[in-house]
Amino acid sequence: MWLEGDEDLDMELKFHLTEKSESFNPRTDITILKKLGDRHYVSVGQHIVSDVGSSQASIDYDEFCLLCKKIKYDVDAWKEWQHKCTSTEANAYAAHQSFKLLVDEKLGQNSDILTSKTVSFEVWDDSRSEKNLNRLMDVRKKFCKRQLQKPPHVVPFVPIWNQASPSCIPSPIQKVQLNAFSWAICEHDGSLGVLIMPVHSNLTNKKYLSDVAILEKLSKCNFLFDEVFSILFEKKLDKRDQRPLTYNGRLVFPASLGTAAKLVWYHCVLREEGRTRAIPQLSSRDMLVPEDISDDALPPVSDVPDGARYLYGGAKYMQMGPAATKAILDGLITDVDLRGHNIPGCVFVSLAANTGDDIIGFLQLHAIHTFPMYMIAFSNSEQEKQWLEAVVKDWVKEQLRDNKLPHIAGQHKIPTAMDNDSMSHYAPQPHYQVLVPNGKVGKYPGSTEAGIVKPSDVVVEIPLEVAKKWCAHVHGQGVQ
């Protein structure tokens, strides 16, 4: 400024040189120098103070940034661990499904083995009755050879003929049923026929005509059929249901011995008491309708009118339920010394298998009796036979799954549970730098230990001391 010729500064210097004061201080006495000095002093001082304060703030800021990075690292590690656990759970679910499929496959194989050793599914040939009779003899021969090691002629037949609603059975099928029924009874002195009498007719107030027609057919054969019995049901499940709580039946004996008293079945409980034990009535909603399950089958059409939910008419009366068949057969077997009469086994024949009530009732009886028994079940068509076989095998499979049917020779051993050691274990939780996990995880998916949670329920939290330190800090405010 002076070099540039500042008149004020030049004048002020000349003044102080003229005064020659001993207390002269250029720093304070010269106005321009004083202003420059003050300005320089204040700038330098504030800079020094600012540097001291900003150093601590910078340290805090750097520390907080490092904390945020560590938290972000922990969160990323936690998410990656949960992703790995999700993959482990997916693998475990796939392993469980594979295990279920394996169990289901083995149960299906065991069901095939059990049914093949106890039941034969057949189809009526309504054109030639001799084919049906030959089939009866072939199946009995196979049963005797495989399970009894006895000649076939020592094993009697016990045909069961359900005529609860004759209108449901086509006339050609009824004819071959009667032929098989009469032949099976007369083929062996120890044979016995079980006939379920009509309880329904399509002709109003003409049910007795069905009774008369069947009795006339039996009277033309060499039978003794005066012994009657009743199938008792506990109560009606629906007051609107027209099915009676009592179904009548007849025991049909061969007349070769002259009197029924000489026959082994004469002393059975069913004949002596003339009734079965009271059984639950089959609910309408539990009734089945045969379906076509072939690969090229159209959507199923049942004997149910449009808008109706359950069976109606004669088909409803034909289904008595497996409990009815079991009660009948149990009444025949109980207290009868078949082995004492040189009868090593017997073959039951369901002439109207329909929806499998006779088969399932027989299998339930077979599970609790040691006497060798076999059943031949006839269906009206090949389609009905395929459906019936599938229904029975599915039922057997579920009974085996619940251990309600006994294990027989040749069946596969069913694993009860997966081997936990072979399962994929959860990945261990990562080492967190700041965050703390809340929740204990089991070793593998599906663990049932007390106090454990799923990996998806595990959360990571900021430690309390860290939260206290930064919650009120200028850098920590507003940070979640």
Residues 311, 301: Cα–Cα separation, whole Å: 12
Q: Please give the pLDDT value at position 88.
A: 85
Please count the other Cβ atoms lying within 10 Å of the Cβ belonging to residue 413: 8
Compute the mean pLDDT over every residue in the chain, rounded to the nearest whole number. 84
Q: Looking at the predicted structure, is the pLDDT value of residue 384 above 80?
A: yes
- Based on the fold, state whether residues 92 and 132 are members of the same structural domain: no
* Mean pLDDT, range 433-458, rounded to an integer: 81
Integer Rg of the chain from CA: 48
198 in Cβ contact with 210 (< 8 Å): yes
CATH classification of the domain holding 348: 3.40.50
Say whether both 458 and 363 belong to one domain: no
Dihedral, 407, 413, 418, 421 alpha carbons, nearest 10: 140
- Among 35-39, 103-107, 307-311, the least confident range: 307-311
Q: Is the residue at 480 inside a domain?
A: no
Of 379, 411, 435, which marks where a domain is finished? 379
* CB atoms near residue 55 (< 10 Å): 10
Tell whether 176 and 258 lie within a shared domain: yes
**What would the mean pLDDT of 187-206 be, rounded to a whole number?**
89
Same domain, 225 and 326: yes
Q: What percent of the chain has pLDDT over 90?
A: 40
In a domain, 180, yes or no: yes
Co-location of 453 and 375 in the same domain = no
What confidence tier does 421 reach under pLDDT thresholds 50, 70, 90?
low
Is residue 48 domain-resident? Answer: no
Same domain, 203 and 253: yes
Q: How far is CA 61 from CA 64, 65, 126, 474, 479, in A?
A: 5, 6, 97, 9, 13
Residues 262 and 320 in one domain: yes
Domain hosting residue 366, numbered range: 126-295+308-379
Query: Strands across the sheet with 373-379, in order?
Result: 119-123, 373-379, 346-350, 157-162, 193-196, 246-254, 223-232
75, 179: one domain: no
Q: Model confidence over 361-379: pLDDT tens digits?
A: 999 999 998 899 999 999 9
Domain count, the chain: 2
Question: Does one domain contain both 352 and 457?
Answer: no
Query: Is 191 part of a structural domain of the chain?
Result: yes
Q: Are residues 353 and 452 in the same domain?
A: no
Number of CB atoms found within 10 A of residue 128's CB? 10
Residue 270 lies in a domain: yes
Dihedral class, residue 20 (left if φ above 0, else alpha if ψ from -120 to 50, else beta): left
Is residue 412 domain-resident?
Answer: no
CA dist 380 and 352 (Å) reads 8
